[in-house]
Amino acid sequence: MTDWSPRERAGLELNSSRDVERKRTVMTLGEVAGLIAALAFVALVGLLAVPVLRLGRVFQEATRSVKELTDHTLPILDEAATTVAETNAQLEKVDTITTAAADVSQNVSALTALFSATLGGPLIKLAAFTYGVRTTVAGHAPKKGRRAKSRRQSSPNDSGGA
């Protein structure tokens, strides 16, 4: 028995039919549990592979969408920067115009004050004088409407008879 072949040592060669039958049917409880665990692990890997593959597709699509969004957003941002720069240039021009308008407004205000101080007082006095002259002259001159009316009321022809 010391001259066993390598197959015999590995237990692959069986001498009797009873040994063959026993080797085929005998499975320990640990082997059954290991087989069930292996099958469960294969089923678990199979079930988890589908969501993982779908998640990979979702990530690919998200990457593609972000790339498209970036490709479309960069020109818009460049245009916005150009528009802001042009708007700033226009605002500088408007600021210059506004400053000039404020200077003109101050000059007109100063001119108006000067005119009021220099000519306003004498013009008001002249207007008052001409008003007084007109009133005086109008008071001494006969009025056509009142005088004719007063003559009709005081005339002897009207009171005495028909």
Question: Is 3 inside any structural domain?
Answer: no
For residue 162, CA distances in Å to 46, 67, 154, 158 come to 138, 116, 16, 8
Question: Is 128 inside any structural domain?
Answer: yes
Q: What is the pLDDT of residues 89-141, one digit of tens each?
A: 999 999 999 999 999 999 999 988 888 888 778 888 888 889 999 999 888 76
> What total number of domains does the chain contain?
1
3-class DSSP state for residue 127?
Answer: helix
Question: Is 7 inside any structural domain?
Answer: no
Question: Is 114 inside any structural domain?
Answer: yes
14 phi/psi in degrees, rounded to 5: -115, 140
Question: Is 79 inside any structural domain?
Answer: yes
Question: Is 2 inside any structural domain?
Answer: no
Output the pLDDT for position 88: 94
Between 41 and 162, where is the model more confident?
A: 41
Q: How confident is the model at residue 162 (pLDDT cuts 50, 70, 90)?
A: very low
Instruction: Give me the domain span that covers residue 24.
Output: 13-151
Question: Is 20 inside any structural domain?
Answer: yes
Q: How confident is the model at residue 146 (pLDDT cuts 50, 70, 90)?
A: low
pLDDT at residue 20 is higher than 90: no
How much is the mean pLDDT over the chain? 80
Question: Is 63 inside any structural domain?
Answer: yes
Percentage of the chain modeled with pLDDT above 90: 49
